[in-house]
Structure 1
Amino acid sequence: MKQPTVSLLRDDGPQAVLLIVGPSLGTAVTPLWDACARALAGPVTVVGWDLPGHGRSVPDPDPFTIADLATVVWSATSAVREEHSAAPYYAGVSLGGTVGLQLAIDHGTELAGVAPVCSGAKIGTPEGWHDRATLVRRAGTPVMVSGSAQRWFASGFLERDPGTGTTLLNGLQHTDKESYAACCEALAAFDARNSLSDIRIPVLAVAGDHDEVTPLSFAEEIAAGTNGQAALITGAAHLAPAEQPAAVAALLDTFLTKEIR
């Protein structure tokens, strides 16, 4: 599959801690993570990647798996990883979090830690994801906007920060439908529950208290399976780094400085 487009969200230089961040299905990485990246205490360099057909990445309608995504993300970030002497950290939202778990399984010795945010070792059902893929291929990604606005954001967020919310929803509307459908099918096949014990690096699993897609129990399952920790963000649904950037940044600051271990 095609490599994703990688963007620097914050660059504090090669001596800084390197944090690679990943997006949720239907979102571009920059509006999802930018405010949180700027709120990190640092010094930290934050690099984001976009899913196929999302944000800055070119479409890729061919079938792929979460493992395939993890492979191309690792390859796409090789140059920036080589610039930093220490192993990078990874944080990803929802689908981006599943990529983080896969990276921890495949490249654990080369990662300093992984933080799945509003994610799970298994998300949804195969039938649900295949049904969504069929719907989007037929009707396009605009059909997902209304439901996503309800799932993504806690009550009051769109009124409090209409700019961020509108940018994220517009990004969904303009996402390539075939690439979106391929992402749905990748999620349908993903189930890392039996592999969590293979993850030997520090894990911080973060949940939003209003998230009905990946509730706190999903974070607790990841934490229990990896001997990691789970944390709850108040006032957030499924896109916590955009909804509560300061709170997510505070958790990541602690994680990056290893004080949470």
Structure 2
Amino acid sequence: MKKTILTLQVVTLCIGLTLSNLGCRGKLNDATEHYDIGVLHWKQGRIDDAIEEYNKAITIYPDFEMAHFNLGSLYYEKGDIALAIESFKKAIEIKPDLVEAHSMLGVAYEMYNMFQDAVEEYRKALELDPNQAGNYTNLGNLYYKMEKYDEAIAEYQKAIRITPDFAEAYNNLGYVYYETRKYSFAINEFKKAIELNPDYISAHTNLSMAYRKVGLHDQSKEEIEIAKQLALKKQANQR
């Protein structure tokens, strides 16, 4: 049975942000046109065209931090992590308080197994905005990978305090409890995740595993059957 812990909370919020809405003037105007075209290409799934437009924007106006950020997000989406890191770092160099760039640089560092650098970037993002639950979850996931389980638990709990309906944080918290053999705690957290999101396949799967560990085999079978049915339903909807 597959063990499941959630993936990173990837930030790409600026896909819908056009600089014409920010009131940019003067020499930014030409760069802004390319930026806005890049946003449209991105929304419509034309990733390479979007990259081309963001690069044009940066050529015209090299200090265009949002163009660097979106470019980094697209490189990340394509799996070119080295270029993504370069772009996020440039965005931060221009605008050190750009929270999303610190978050995504942390994500990119984590993909490269540069764990300590990732921790530092998540921490910087949280210093700038302590109310982003996704960054606490990212930090919790990273501490889990580093086998720092107490730290992981603390970060998930912070995420839940900020966003009490954050099903993923409950699931991840439950999984750390499961891995540390605190099965009753794990069961409680998985149940909370399912209460918030009844279609949450990972939480049903994890709850099945936890039930099995405490000898509740009927409940375990019931949960894995629910997970299978939800997976089939999801598959059918994707056709």
Larger radius of gyration: 2
- Higher helix share goes to which structure? 2
Higher-RCO chain (CA-CA 8 Å, sequence separation at least 6): 1
- Higher strand share goes to which structure? 1
TM over 0.5: no
Q: What TM-score do the two structures reach when normalised by structure 1?
A: 0.24
Q: What TM-score do the two structures reach when normalised by structure 2?
A: 0.26
